[in-house]
Amino acid sequence: MTTTLDVRKPAPLWFLPATFLFALLSLSLALFLGVADVAPSDIIAVLTGHGSAEARSIIMEIRLPRILTGILAGVHFAVAGLLLQTITRNPLADPSIMGVSQGATLSVTIFLVFTVYIEDPGSNTLAAIPVEWLPAVGMLGGLVAGGIIYLLAFRRDLGPLRITLCGIAVGAVLHALAIGLIAGWGSARIEVLLEWLSGSLYARSWEHAVFLLPFTIAGLAVLPLIRRSLELLRFEAPVARSFGLSYRRQFSIVLLLSCGLASSAVGAVGPVVFVGLVVPHLARFLAGRHFALVLPLTVALGAIVVTLSDLVGRLAGQADEIPIGVVTAICGVPVLVAFLRKTP
């Protein structure tokens, strides 16, 4: 047996449990740290079912739902990014780059304009945002954008790079439409909408988590079923076909899943950029040549990255917290550049 010279070290198998442990760790960190000072002993008391009313409300009504919504969204974005990068064979593919997030943004904006504004044109509060519908509505728009990507990929038979470029163009148009709508809306509520638009976990309640959860469960349940198509979809279409893959069908299933995951998360927390782009790279880097590890690592790292980014945004801004989308955008760029420099 020859040993190999590879810059990427093969990941030992303990990587996976270690990463999930780390995910758990960042969850607790996010639970214990926050702008409102709650003593660790109080937090533990709350978690075991006791604790003061104030601590209870901070932990159970504010922090925990927020963290859990973030974890779900993080998993959505990360897996969506991995799937999109796989099928387009482009390491720079990402739902927030290729128009999927923008499609979701537009549909959510339209939905909000028609429900909130028409029902109650005078009000300046946003209490009436129909949270339960957001993931589903977002998904609708994301799937439309996904449909456009599909048409570009197969009707015109474009290569990976050109699909990505067209996705960017489609995304820019959809985004402009959404912004136009918001500008035309012209009400005090615009501020809240803008915050949602930058990707935010502010004031995320149990409702957000609960209505996103079915999408997470459905999405993750499909993953084991597509693990082998994911392996083959990394090849060019003729090669995958000659190995026996129904390329177009599997491509569509994976694209559908990717759009569904990304856009339902956009509905819940807004378009958090770069998570879908950076996390799969991180996962691939850790997994080395153990391709089977990439998917579970992506899930775990998606949760970690969003949880920690949100924590940073909460702590750095203190009372005026920084939306998570801003944190991931600022942190994501240098990480991405670092990875791009490493890859030949």
Interface ranges with another protein (CB under 8 A): 1-2, 4-6, 8, 89, 225-226, 228-229, 231-232, 234-236, 238-239, 241-247, 284, 288-289, 291
- Closer Cβ to another protein, 86 or 328, answer by number: 86
Cα 195 from Cα 68, distance rounded (Å): 19
Query: 186 or 344, CB closer to another protein?
Result: 344
CB of 157 to another protein, least distance (A): 12
Q: Which is nearer to another protein, 50 or 248 (CB)?
A: 248
Query: Minimum distance between the CB of residue 237 and another protein, rounded to whole angstroms?
Result: 9
The string of DSSP letters for 83-115 reads HHHHHHT-TT--TTTTTHHHHHHHHHHHHHIII
| 342 Cβ contact list (under 8 Å, min separation 6) | 7, 285
Q: Give the nearer residue to another protein in terms of CB position, either 114 or 291.
A: 291
Q: Where are the alpha helices (DSSP H) in the chain?
A: 15-32, 40-47, 53-56, 64-88, 100-112, 118-119, 134-154, 160-185, 190-197, 206-222, 227-233, 237-242, 247-269, 275-287, 291-317, 324-342
Cβ proximity to another protein: between 89 and 162 the closer is: 89
Give least dist CB 253 to another protein, A: 10
For 99: left if phi > 0, alpha if psi spans -120 to 50, otherwise beta; the answer is: left
Q: In which residue are the tokens 């990507």 written?
A: 149
What is the rounded distance in angstroms from the CA atom of residue 304 to the CA atom of residue 313? Answer: 14
Least gap, CB of 214 to another protein (angstroms)? 24
CB 277 to another protein: min, Å: 18
CA atoms within 13 A on the CB side of 142: 34
At its nearest, how many Å lie between another protein and the CB of residue 283?
12
- The nearer residue to another protein, 184 or 244, going by C-beta atoms, is 244
Contacts of 252 (CB under 8 A, 6+ apart): 150
Separation CA 117–CA 187 (nearest Å): 9
What six digits make up the tokens of 293? 């590890």
253 and 226 in contact (C-beta within 8 Å)? yes
Kindly tell me which of 162 and 234 has the beta carbon lying closer to another protein.
234
SS3 128: coil
**Rounded to the nearest whole angstrom, what is the least distance from the CB of residue 226 to another protein in the complex?**
8
